[in-house]
Chain A
Amino acid sequence: MTAITQIRRNDQPIYLDYQATTPMDPRVLEVMMPYFTHKFGNPGSRSHAYGWEAEEAVEKARGQIAKLIGADEKEVIYTSGATESNNLAIRGVAEFYKDRKNHIITTVTEHKCVLDTCRHLEQQGFEVTYLPVQQNGLLDLDVLRAAITDKTVLVSVMAVNNEIGVIQPLAEIGKICRERKVFFHTDAAQAAGKIPLDVEAMNIDLMSISGHKIYGPKGIGALYVRRKPRVRLVAMIYGGGQERGFRSGTLPTPLCVGLGEACEIAMKEMGTEAKHLAKLQERMLKGLRAKLTDIVVNGDLEQRIPGNLNISFAYVEGESLMMGIKNLSVSSGSACTSASLEPSYVLRALGVEEEMAHTSLRIGLGRFTTEHEVDTAVDELVRHVTKLRAMSPLWEMAQEGIDLKSIEWAAH
């Protein structure tokens, strides 16, 4: 891929945090550029050529987004990002239908913006069921079936988890929801452009999309809202009535165009990219396993996007490992909570014990990752894990055959 040199200079760390954000594809940036400069019109201006030009561009992009998920362009509305899309979908549906139904179902491993929105709705008097996931991170469909009641208005299950990359059985969930006449929302921020999505085949009623997770710009996202059968929402942002009244505010033309182009590229290249990433994922895992024992991949390895690995390096604390691998940009969990010291709630939901959760790293591979970068990353990881294990009292005890669980640890 020729674009690599444009993405990373040699003196920069290797970027392996593609679930936090992706670099923009230079091709996306290129199509955005004119809309920053000479094609700067407000798509809401109907009185002159600048406005028409902007409107045309925004509508073309809307079509590109719709196509990626098998939707009609009329069903796509622009937002400022997946966080807003998730807030709008869940709150919008809950509030619109609250006189008839007041129960929402979601899972414990959702993104924080979904969980926070649900908690807020609970305070408003809605009932929310947070379904557990299995040890592999996947939702048990029988558990879902059992949770749906006459009062259930919405099921919100993410398509791909941001920390462990597992893919939820969307088509099966959609089928259950449709049968039970419950709306199905999926947060597809990590899934769109990575795995095939089809709102018709999967019976998805609402879908959140993010620009900056698919090599597009930050500050833009989309929400798919089904028209047949129609899903109705209470808007969150009121004003000029843009986006069919669902979401007011001047549309940022260059960002819309960028999201559209990112979707178009993803659609064209998804197949080859997935193969490329699967190879890299395997290469990384093989490389690590060849030289390190006691490493565990968290989350299902099969039902997973190839661009993600979440690994516990037993007996090595994750933060100290991150501090060592200075040449690698990885994370110990979701970016939102990077600065906090709490172990990941997603890993805990999988039943990963806290001591193992403390040893986990999220490694995100993406479009611009090369084999050479993977090899360098493996070397760095092996070197530092080995070094840190040599200074880990837990590793020492384990080597001596002491069962760490038999020790009474002094809590502090």
Chain B
Amino acid sequence: MAAFAYLDHNATSPLRPVAFESMVEVLRAGGNPSSVHTAGRKARAAVETARRQVAALVGALPAEVVFTSGGTEANNLALSGAGRRRVLVSAVEHDSVLRAAPAAEIIGVDGNGVVDLAALERALASSADEPALVSVMLANNETGVLQPIADVVRLARDAGALVHCDTVQAAGKVPVEVHGLGVDYLSLSAHKLGGPTGVGALIVRTGAPFATDRRGGGQESNRRAGTENVAGIAGFGAAAQEAAKGLDLADWRDRLEFSLVQIAPRARVFGAGAIRLGNTSCVAMPGVPAETQVMAFDLAGVCISAGAACSSGKVQRSAVLAAMGVPADEAATAIRISLGWNTEPADIERLITAWRDLYIRVTQSDISRAEAA
């Protein structure tokens, strides 16, 4: 058995071996893709192969792919690049969207975390003379809940608005098709789908307005300056090709949730009433602070998280759960379990065992405390 059961793929997913191999090859070869000599041309070829692979993952044209340093930069680039002063975002977007557009109007979500389409329609109609940018994620990083992007796009189009979709968590887990969704901008991150950290992409639909925010040597067809992270991009391409085969983890996840609720009958699974990614489970063990759970799991060799990874350490209430109307005390007991490409049944068994041990321990101590009182 592995030293740890790593069930925190939504924070970062281990690098897939195919990605690693293609990166090592490129790292050894070197070369700046802008140089015209042999080394440069080889590096260029690696970047362009990856561009086709990433494009294929989301049904885009290779020319629509702009490589970035990650999902955060892709989201920032989309929000500034669209050039719309009025921005509408859902309440459960990632911080990289919310903070990149601090003046954005927030559209609420229902109890399952699904964006309120009626509210979106009203907001779009309220100032039809100023066309907006709507940014709604495909899948939420904390709950895995999927948003009705096709409906968002339909409403946006009627109002002359552009649409950005953050698919950082969705790509490679559910089929993503940029032209099928009809969005103008789509963000991707490599390390969430088994590629390396430090690379991502923004898909800019042909014909969508785009003014870059990153000036310099004119790389990425003047859309994002800076010497390309060639090895990272090659790894991203290889991982994207592999991830395009999809992940079918819903059965395991459902079994996992069933077991957790069986052990702790008052446990609650967030977003359970909505369509979700098959790999993510956001669940609360009643009465036990998330931090306590995370520590107990860590001691038992199970890696999970208490929320989004980002700059955490800071323990703060999940904005996603708050937007879903989850009371603060209950949200404080929520943990995120996220499966990935190398998850095995043994990892899930280990998590269930750890959950059972912890639950028994805390309930017994509750009982003993109650008896002593």
Asked whether A and B interact, the reply is: yes
A→B interface (CB under 8 Å): 6-7, 12-13, 15, 17, 20-24, 29, 36-38, 40-42, 44-51, 79-84, 86-87, 111-113, 116-117, 119-120, 210, 212, 217-220, 236-242, 248-255, 322, 328-331, 334-339
Question: B241 in the interface, Cβ–Cβ < 8 Å?
Answer: no
Chain A: minimal CB distance from B80 (Å): 9
Across the interface, name the chain B residue whose C-beta is closest to A52: B298
B76 touches A87 (CB 8 A): no
Question: B346 in the interface, Cβ–Cβ < 8 Å?
Answer: no
Chain A: minimal CB distance from B362 (Å): 18
Provide the bound-state CA to CA distance between A81 and B295, in Å: 36
Provide the bound-state CA to CA distance between A337 and B225, in Å: 12
* B26-55 contact mask (Cβ, 8 Å, vs A): 1 or 0: 011011101111111000000000000000
- Across the interface, A48 reaches (CB within 8 A) one of B4, B75, B219, namely B4
A338 touches B40 (CB 8 A): yes
Question: B125 in the interface, Cβ–Cβ < 8 Å?
Answer: no
Given A40-B15, A212-B227, A240:B39 Cβ within 8 A: no
B76 touches A113 (CB 8 A): no
Q: Report A-chain residues with C-beta under 8 Å of the C-beta of B4.
A: 48-50
Interface size range of chain B in the complex: 35 or more
Q: Report B-chain residues with C-beta under 8 Å of the C-beta of A17.
A: 32, 35, 37, 39-40
B39 touches A249 (CB 8 A): no
Provide the bound-state CA to CA distance between A120 and B216, in Å: 11
Chain A: minimal CB distance from B365 (Å): 22
Across the interface, name the chain B residue whose C-beta is closest to A327: B38
Provide the bound-state CA to CA distance between A255 and B191, in Å: 13
* B200-236 contact mask (Cβ, 8 Å, vs A): 1 or 0: 0000000000000111111100000111111110000
Question: Which of B130-138, B301-309, B319-327 is the interface stretch?
Answer: B301-309
- Across the interface, B304 reaches (CB within 8 A) one of A47, A81, A238, namely A47
A248 touches B40 (CB 8 A): no
Provide the bound-state CA to CA distance between A46 and B198, in Å: 19
Most buried by B among A37, A119, A212, A252: A252
B309 touches A45 (CB 8 A): yes
Provide the bound-state CA to CA distance between A15 and B29, in Å: 11
A–B pairs, 10, beta carbons within 8 Å: A17-B39, A44-B312, A116-B215, A217-B231, A219-B198, A219-B231, A237-B72, A237-B76, A255-B229, A336-B217
Q: Report A-chain residues with C-beta under 8 Å of the C-beta of B40.
A: 17, 20, 329, 335, 338
Provide the bound-state CA to CA distance between A379 and B17, in Å: 44
Across the interface, name the chain B residue whose C-beta is closest to A13: B38
B217 touches A339 (CB 8 A): no
- Across the interface, B216 reaches (CB within 8 A) one of A48, A111, A242, A248, namely A111
Q: Report B-chain residues with C-beta under 8 Å of the C-beta of A42.
A: 8, 11-12, 191, 197, 309
Across the interface, name the chain B residue whose C-beta is closest to A42: B12
